Amino acid sequence: MIAYLDCAATGISGDKLLGALLAAGFRIDDLRTALAPLRLADAVTIVKRRTGGLAAVGVEVAEKPGLPLRTLPELRDAVRAADAPEPARAAAERILLALAEAEAQVHGVPLEEVHFHEVGAADTVVDVLGAALGLHALGVEELVCSPIAVGSGTVAAAHGVLPIPAPATALLLRGLPVVPGAATGELTTPTGAAIVRTLAASFGEPPPMRVTGAGLGAGTRDLGVPNVAQLLVGEPMAPQPAPDGTERVTLLETNVDHLSPETLAYACERLLEAGALDVWQTPIVMKKGRAAYLLSALAEPVTAADIARTIIRETGSLGVRVVPAERFVAWRTVVELDTPLGRARFKVWRAGDRTGCRVEHDDAARIARERGLPIMAVEHELNHSVQHEEIAISPFYSPGLPIPED
């Protein structure tokens, strides 16, 4: 089975994901059985919530008096004591470790001394173990996640007022695609970020699937919009082939108003090195009349998440828009030919009954530098030379060059 988690509007938290799992078919009795050795079976309550006109499932956890679980070793021991399958326990431990590593880095303390101030011990154990156990119980072998809404503004925490995303959340989101979301405030919590970072195999658009279950998990705050995360569960399907002459691609975009032109140009180079099919910049005007650039990258769907991570890493952007698209692709290939100015590569293309050939810019630039000639003159001479009989190519150019049939 495969699952898709949509948290691009109002983010993700541990209880919201757990609510979505329960709404999609995860049995509360199975969760309570797992929590029984921890004396937490009766601490979990399912709550039917209406948010923004939608009915969704919420989860409340009553903090048990005298449960002093606050450090990583203590929470890890609690997870190990749960009555749950080993894969679920192992996944829960990885989530706790990711969360603790982020908190340790934020507070500058050793890993084993991290205390989970912002959430109760019971909340943490239930959310983390519940997420791992719920996916296991539903038979989900691969979780795909949308870009993650982070919100904006500030949040009050044990150490004072913090920017959003909170420092631990920001560390856990490194390399992942994020968006502002549909509301202000903290939309994604450290626990939610740790769960998604650990359990999601990829990020982007929904994968091809035959949906067998769906659930809406509700958050606790009134945001003025539906405060939900949606989980789709289903059987994976082979991607449908694109129409003849087209291929499926993903368009990634972000607005940039804080980088110098030199830094932005360097980021574009890194995106191409990372495998982007194309990269370009468009001058735009943002709110308050600020001049900026729209940075766009075209990627194959399977590499879109990696390209999005590269955009965030190289630009410091907090959000990357992900747009599925198709493009028409003319048949093309590259041949290397001897010309009067030296050996150069030429791009040969065919679209319908039209054909063409033009020199690769890098080779034209190299020859222009070597001979001290203007590049426009070099490009003209090279493109003109391939029409001559002595080059032994004519509209489809070289013996043995494969030509597709119409």
Specify whether the CB–CB gap between 298 and 278 falls below 8 A. Answer: yes
pLDDT interval class at 30 (50, 70, 90):
very high
Task: Please give the full DSSP string across 354-369, using - where no structure is assigned.
Answer: EEEEEE-HHHHHHHHH
**Which of these, 95, 93, 100, 88, lies nearest to 132 by C-alpha position?**
88
Residue 406 has what pLDDT? Answer: 40
For the chain, give every domain's residue range. Answer: 2-236, 246-328, 331-391
Average pLDDT over residues 104-111: 78
Whether residue 115 is predicted with pLDDT greater than 70 in this model: the reply is: no
Of 98-102, 131-135, 178-182, the range with the highest mean pLDDT is: 131-135
Average pLDDT over all residues of the chain: 85
120 vs 156 pLDDT, higher one = 156
Residue 395 has what pLDDT? Answer: 42
Could you tell me the two tokens for 348? 């040969």
Whether residue 397 is predicted with pLDDT greater than 70 in this model: the reply is: no
What span, in angstroms and rounded, lies between the C-alpha atoms of 312 and 274?
Answer: 13
Entry pTM: 0.62
Average pLDDT over residues 52-72: 76
Task: Note the pLDDT tens digit of each residue in 252-300.
Answer: 999 999 999 999 999 999 999 999 999 999 999 988 888 999 999 999 9
Could you tell me the two tokens for 374? 């203007």
Sign of the torsion angle spanned by Cα atoms 262, 263, 267, 270: positive
Task: Note the pLDDT tens digit of each residue in 358-384.
Answer: 899 999 999 999 999 999 999 998 888
SS (H, E, C) 141-192: CEEEECCEECEECEEEECCEEEECCCHHHHHHCCCCCEECCCCCEECCCHHH
Average pLDDT over residues 135-146: 94
Residue 378 has what pLDDT? Answer: 92
What percent of the chain clears pLDDT 70, i.e. is strictly above it? 87
What span, in angstroms and rounded, lies between the C-alpha atoms of 318 and 296?
Answer: 15
Could you tell me the two tokens for 103? 């908190």
Polymer length in residues for the chain: 406
**Which of these, 333, 329, 337, 332, lies nearest to 383 by C-alpha position?**
337
Task: Note the pLDDT tens digit of each residue in 161-218.
Answer: 788 888 889 999 988 888 888 888 899 999 999 999 999 988 888 888 999 999 999 9
80 vs 402 pLDDT, higher one = 80
Whether residue 137 is predicted with pLDDT greater than 90 in this model: the reply is: yes
Residue 305 has what pLDDT? Answer: 87
Whether residue 398 is predicted with pLDDT greater than 50 in this model: the reply is: no
CATH code of the domain occupying 246-328: 3.30.70.1380
187 vs 399 pLDDT, higher one = 187
13 three-state secondary structure? coil
Specify whether the CB–CB gap between 133 and 84 falls below 8 A. Answer: yes
Q: Which residues of 200-233 are buried (b: 16+ CB within 10 A; e: fewer)?
A: beebbbbbebeeebbbbbbbeeebeebbbbbbbb
Residue 195 has what pLDDT? Answer: 95
Residue 231 has what pLDDT? Answer: 96
352 vs 47 pLDDT, higher one = 47
Average pLDDT over residues 374-403: 62
Average pLDDT over residues 86-99: 92
118 vs 366 pLDDT, higher one = 366
Average pLDDT over residues 87-101: 92
